[in-house]
Amino acid sequence: MSVPDTFDTPAPGARWSTWTTVAKGQRGPRPHPDWVVTAAAAIDTELGVLKTGKEADVHLVERAVPGDPDRWSLLAAKRYRARERRQFDRDSSYTEGRRTRRSRDQRAAEDRTSAWGRSVRAGQWALAEFSALCALWEAGAPVPYPVQLDGVEVLLEFIGSQDDDGAWVAAPRLAQARPAPDVVAGYFEQLRDAMGVFARLGWAHGDLSPYNVLADGDRLVVIDVPQVVDLAASPFAVEYLHRDCVNMCAWFGARGLDADPDELFADVYAQAW
């Protein structure tokens, strides 16, 4: 990966690092991993789109200090769209009990016709994901490290590798992976452990499937967590946790592993209390 060698104004498609401009509470948990670039002189450069979706798009961003090849990192910039969030906005069960700090923003979020209301809702989902990732990371869950939150943008650890041509590619989703049988068994134990971390925090993922779990070599990484549901407060949480278990066990069962969703549910749910 090339690193810029001058401190000129960032080129088109680049910007000065936003690390120093976000509030302290919107930076990832301490201690920051060694690869996190915190220098004000760093430049963020857009390298392409990793994923497009209904709620957000994910871009690949390089953050590097010009002239210093030891201070650079790759980040996944998840940017929530400030417009109708077709899936989650229709399902208030994910946001049961959530409130914004400012009543003005709460009223705006409830107005699905105004641009301000759509912008507030996008920011709420970005904040929800960043906050959940921080708690999960500190609890030891296999999630991307949350670098920072800036409005509707969540900067995350990039999970991926270089291909044979030297291009950076994201780790495949579990749904796309074709692991060997011994790897499948290891994946299931990792999944059980990950769901247990969620449960011990009092949460269920709420939308867990092979499409929001990455297969990064021999390890699994859980992604897309803005809709985590509170197992104690949400009347839908138990249903969603069981659905998570059914979704995941179906994938493992199709690959020859005896994975009982009811047993997984009982194991995970017991860890919440």
Domain ranges of the chain: 14-162, 171-270
85 neighbors 55 (Cβ within 8 angstroms): yes
CA distance 77 to 153: 6
Round to the nearest angstrom and report the end-to-end CA distance of the chain. Answer: 47
What is the model's pLDDT at position 63?
97
Instruction: Give the largest Cα separation in the chain, rounded.
Output: 59
What is the model's pLDDT at position 121?
63
Residues 6+ apart with CB under 8 A from 207: 94, 224, 227, 240, 244
What is the model's pLDDT at position 127?
95
In terms of DSSP H, where are the helices of the chain? 86-90, 103-110, 115-138, 181-200, 237-254, 261-270
What is the model's pLDDT at position 108?
40
Residue ranges of the chain whose pLDDT lies below 70? 1-8, 83-122
DSSP 27: B
Q: Tokens 């590798």 label which residue?
A: 161
Kindly report the CATH number that applies to the domain delimited by 171-270.
Answer: 1.10.510.10
Q: Does domain 14-162 sit in CATH 3.50.50.60?
A: no
Question: What pTM value is reported for the model?
Answer: 0.85
What is the model's pLDDT at position 86?
42
136 closest CA partner among 212, 201, 224, 231:
201
Residues 6+ apart with CB under 8 A from 142: 190, 193, 194, 219, 220, 221, 222
CA distance 261 to 267: 10
What is the model's pLDDT at position 84?
52
Q: Which sign does the torsion angle of CA 261, 263, 268, 272 carry?
A: positive
What is the model's pLDDT at position 94?
57
What is the model's pLDDT at position 100?
47
Alpha-carbon distances of 212 from 61, 123, 191, 257, 270, rounded to whole Å: 20, 21, 12, 20, 24
Residues 6+ apart with CB under 8 A from 113: none
Is residue 251 helix, strand or coil?
A: helix
- Give tens-digit pLDDT for 172-223: 999 999 999 999 999 999 999 999 999 999 999 999 999 999 999 999 999 9
